[in-house]
Homo-oligomer: A and B are copies of this chain.
């Protein structure tokens, strides 16, 4: 006969699969001699057998249950259903994982009118006996039969003889007689709802309760929860049946819950609450105000001392903080449940590190106990939670947008970049509010504490720039209607005007009216965190076994994406080992540089056309050296270049930008002394640096319409109040060429257009200038004694020939720059792998690249065919909501598609070039699941935002440990 039922004394903590978490805990505590009421667990196998048999209890089960009940009777000296010495039972579900939607608890199984009388006689406490019965009817009725609780609560109110205070709980102040009446009424409600009387036979009660627990395993909410969390449906639930102990048996009885350490702070102190003379869920139900656990030392000192000892014992036993339920029956302590205690991340870090010092656990286990993503919460300014709650209650939550860049910011609203800067310079903290941002707004973003936009997704200009700056940002908050002319926005019925206080939470996307206090982060003050990260790094340094190629390899290094020296400094403080991505074009977006950038762009096409003509003629001449017509043409072309205003303007802009970029890079190399710095050449399409086509079109059309109309009516033109026609025409003359330049550069799908390496090959002058700036800066720094490790990265390669041609041209420039300065420095050339084809042909591309850096943002966009800006607010959100996609592929690398390309590229790239340096610089570099993937795929490092470095260090260590574990 199959064994379906296990006495607590027959199990142990390793039997979670068979007994469920709760059952295994009770068995373990019984095994190590803690005071657990006698009981047993019906196994998860029984649950599965029940469903396999079409909701029939399997053969032999009930006999085993009743036999176990007999054992409890023997141990307690009470009898199930015997009014003279009634044994009551609690019945609770218990699956391997705690699961919302599962039936929880039925107390006092075994109650019936006869037992009620017996219990009253036995204890002399009519209130106690009545309370037990009404609880049983209510729980059984509600959880087994689905009768709404509200009817029972109503009954209690109606049965109360004395009036209660306003707002009191339904059961407050019920006398024994009230409770008798309540019981009568509850039985009637039950009969009415179910169509038959409450079963009086204890065995029948127990059978229905056990079956109800089983049935709840396939209840709708439980099934949905498992589907969502990908928990298999065939785990089944156990049923725990235990002798009742009574925390409601008078003044020396109590019931409570407690953590062995403070789950909020991690402090090593008991933390919990209890109620005197209460039962079951009363503590957490909030019906009475419980007392802090320390008070128990005063109320019941012996029981408290025993409890303290048990807590210590359990913590040592489980090597972790425990969350306990206990009951004290007339001074005697019982432990009813133990499980690992949930805690805040602050507490988790402190507890893990403390436990290492207490020799409870080893450092690796401490590192693995922290969810890396939570580290974020330690390192960001955040709003005081209480203040936030209050703001919501006061109706100050104005809307919720995309949580584009985490952190909390508070300040006064401003609606344009110039005001933002002026006010910031005057010492005010401002939040910049814009419909969306453009490069023209960057100086305002620099000045602001936080950025709020109405439009744009997680890769909108505002979002990307804000994340780069580590500045809180909420984008796409469509509920706010901005009137930039009035300098105000409306949300709901409320207006927020320039100068009004405003608070944004970039971690959640919430926008609040009014100011709110923030709590700033400070790594140095978090000594436990610092200690844990040192353990993590030590792990990554040690070689561990790889899953993919079997070769021993160290864990991932963590590098940072940093565009400015100030970002690099922050990253260094957080412990990076290199810069994985410096986006040179972000330097172009700064306000003082934009005019130069415009000058460069607006003259580039014409200048390049002339250069190309010279080149073509020179080539012709090589073929026909004697042909006088070719010689003439070459001279002609050269003269055109020399005389061209466009060429002059283009070259002047490049020369000025060379000086600026050289300065930027020098400082970056200085900060990163001794560490590698990957600098990416210009990537975005040039039109991103110019005003938007639509804005220009609108302005030009308005001007033209006005001019035309005023020409027909010159009399108005002279009237006061109208701008002069000359002004209009001057404006038009400025804007029209710009419009046609922007039009000429317009692209249908700019993401797949003239950018990256394509731009560099079309306008070599720009990238040559950048390479020269990098090399000259490196030489200058090397001369000062700094150790520079520049790595020049070419974006968007799709074909090896693109890289070959670019690299030859740029290496030539690099060598020339280095030779002219006479300081021998080393450098690397490499490429981003962000176009699917580059991953598919990585073996070829590695011939021309000393390093690969996966740009997983673009790689994900192109592999899925998703334009992130377009997708995220629209179908992607729907896909995530409906479960078509389990995860957002822009947050966590899609292993089956994008990940497959990455693994192919790493393998085939290294086949071509053994020492190929491989990393990732997309936003995934800061995502723990993606970091795990990167480790398994054999990458050398992940590069992420400076503010994600701590997360990444921890995740990298866990990934390395994961590999070791699998190899055991």
Cβ-based interface call for A749 (8 A) = yes
A754, B701: Cα distance in complex, Å: 30
Contact across chains for B220 and A623 when beta carbons are under 8 A apart: yes
Bound Cα distance A840, B899 (Å): 10
**What's the Cα separation between A648 and B249 when bound, in Å?**
67
Copies of this protein chain in the complex: 2
In the complex, are the beta carbons of A864 and B798 less than 8 A apart? yes
Contacts of A617 in B (CB 8 A): none
Task: Judge if A67 is at the interface, Cβ distance under 8 Å.
Answer: no
Q: Smallest Cβ distance from A297 to chain B, in angstroms?
A: 45
On chain B, the residues within 8 Å of A870 by CB distance are 747-750, 752-754
Closest to A899 in B: B840
List chain B residues, Cβ under 8 A from A719: 713
Chain B: minimal CB distance from A854 (Å): 14
A749 near B869: Cβ-Cβ < 8 Å: yes
Interface string of A749-761 (1 = CB under 8 A from B): 1111110001001
Check: A524 CB closer than 8 A to any chain B CB. no
Partner pick for A702 among B705, B747, B894, CB 8 A cutoff: B705
Residues in B with CB closer than 8 Å to A796 are: 865
Inter-chain contact A867/B897, CB cutoff 8 Å = no
Complex Cα distance, B844 from A897, in Å, reads 11
Residues of A855-882 contacting chain B, CB below 8 A: 858, 861-867, 869-871, 874-875, 878-879, 882
A726 within 8 Å of B (CB atoms):
no
Contact flags A875-895 to B (C-beta < 8 A → 1, else 0) = 100110011110000000010
B contact residues around A898 at 8 Å (CB) = 837
| A508 at interface by CB-CB < 8 Å | no
Q: Which of B694, B706, B722, B871 contacts A694 (CB 8 A)?
A: B694
In the complex, how many angstroms separate the beta carbon of A56 from the nearest chain B beta carbon?
27
Do A840 and B897 form a contact, CB below 8 Å, given A701-B705, A864-B835, A882-B805? Answer: yes
Contact B694 A761 (CB under 8 A): no
Number of interface residues of A (CB under 8 A): 71
Cβ–Cβ contact B869 & A748, under 8 A: yes
A875 to B901, CA, bound (A): 25
With the chains together, A874 CA to B755 CA distance in Å? 11
Alpha-carbon distance A88/B871, docked complex (angstroms): 80
Q: Which of A278-325 contact B (CB under 8 A)?
A: none
Q: Is A716 an interface residue (CB 8 A)?
A: yes
**Which A residues from 89 to 139 make CB contacts under 8 A with B?**
none
Q: Given B623, B802, B884, which contacts A805 in the complex, CB threshold below 8 Å?
A: B884
Indicate with 1 or 0, residue by residue over A886-916, a CB within 8 angstroms of chain B CB atoms.
Answer: 0000000010111011000000000000000
A622, chain B: closest CB distance, angstroms? 8
Q: Residue A836 contacts which of B148, B722, B844, B862 (CB distance < 8 angstroms)?
A: B862
Establish whether residues A871 and B762, one from each chain, have CB atoms under 8 Å apart when the complex forms: no
Chain B residues within 8 Å of A592, by CB = none
The answer on a CB contact under 8 Å between B901 and A840 is: yes
The CA of A874 and the CA of B837, in the complex, are separated in Å by 20
Check: A626 CB closer than 8 A to any chain B CB: yes
Q: Give residues of chain A (817-844) contacting chain B, Cβ–Cβ below 8 Å.
A: 834-837, 840-841, 844
Q: Are the CB atoms of A874 and B762 closer together than 8 Å? A: yes
Q: Interface readout for A676-720 with B: 1 if CB under 8 Å, 0 if not?
A: 000000000000000001100110011011100100110010010
Annotate A204-221 by CB proximity to B: 1 below 8 A, 0 otherwise: 000000000000000011
Q: Does A799 contact B (CB under 8 A)?
A: yes
**In the complex the two chains form, what is the Cα distance from A623 to B225 in whole Å?**
13
- Pair B748/A751 contact, Cβ less than 8 Å: yes
A76 within 8 Å of B (CB atoms): no
The reply to whether B754 and A884 form a contact with Cβ atoms under 8 Å apart is: no
If the complex has contacts A841-B896, A875-B758, are A867 and B752 also in contact, measured as CB distance less than 8 A?
yes
Residue of B nearest to A874 (CB): B754
Are A897 and B841 interface neighbours, CB within 8 A?
Answer: yes
Find chain B residues with CB under 8 A from A644 CB.
none
- B883:A752 contact, CB within 8 angstroms: no
CA of A704 to CA of B870 in the docked complex: distance in angstroms? Answer: 29
Report the Cα distance A339→B861, complex, angstroms: 54
Once the chains are docked, how many angstroms separate the CA of A870 from the CA of B623?
Answer: 33
Closest to A612 in B: B878
For the complex, is A740 an interface residue (Cβ under 8 Å from B)? no
A484 at the interface (CB under 8 A from B): no
Query: A875 to B705, Cβ gap below 8 A?
Result: no
**Residue among B701, B761, B863 making CB contact with A837, cutoff 8 Å:** B863
Expressed in whole angstroms, the minimum distance between the Cβ of A691 and any Cβ of chain B is: 15
Cβ contact within 8 Å between B701 and A875: no
Query: Known: A863-B836, A864-B835, A897-B836. Is A884-B799 also a contact (CB below 8 A)?
Result: yes
Give CA–CA (A762, B875) in the complex, Å. 7
**Smallest beta-carbon distance A836→chain B, Å:** 4
CA of A61 to CA of B623 in the docked complex: distance in angstroms? Answer: 32
Q: Is A801 at the interface (CB under 8 A from chain B)?
A: yes
A 720-756 to B, binary, CB cutoff 8 A, 1 in contact else 0: 0110000000000000000000000001111111100
Give the shortest distance, in Å, between A738 (CB) and chain B (any CB): 16
Nearest residue, chain B, Cβ from A802: B884
Rounded to whole angstroms, the CA-CA distance of A701 and B702 in the bound complex is 6
> From residue A424, how far is it (CB to closest CB) to chain B in Å?
30
Interface residues of A in 337-377 (CB under 8 A from B): none
CB distance from A507 to the nearest CB of B (A): 26
Query: Chain A, 155-194, contact with B by CB distance < 8 Å: what is the 0/1 string?
Result: 0000000000000000000000000000000000000000
Tell me the bound Cα distance from A753 to B865 in angstroms: 8
Using a CB–CB distance below 8 Å, which chain A residues touch chain B?
Answer: 148, 220-221, 622-623, 626, 693-694, 697-698, 701-702, 704-706, 709, 712-713, 716, 719, 721-722, 747-754, 758, 761-762, 796, 798-799, 801-802, 805, 834-837, 840-841, 844, 858, 861-867, 869-871, 874-875, 878-879, 882-885, 894, 896-898, 900-901
The 4 lowest CB-CB distance pairs between A and B, nearest first, are A749-B867, A752-B867, A837-B897, A753-B870
Give 5 A-B contacts (CB < 8 Å), ordered by A residue. A747-B867, A748-B751, A748-B870, A752-B865, A837-B865
A747-B867, A753-B871, A761-B878 are known; give 8 further A-B pairs, CB within 8 A.
A709-B709, A749-B751, A751-B867, A754-B874, A798-B897, A805-B882, A836-B864, A837-B898
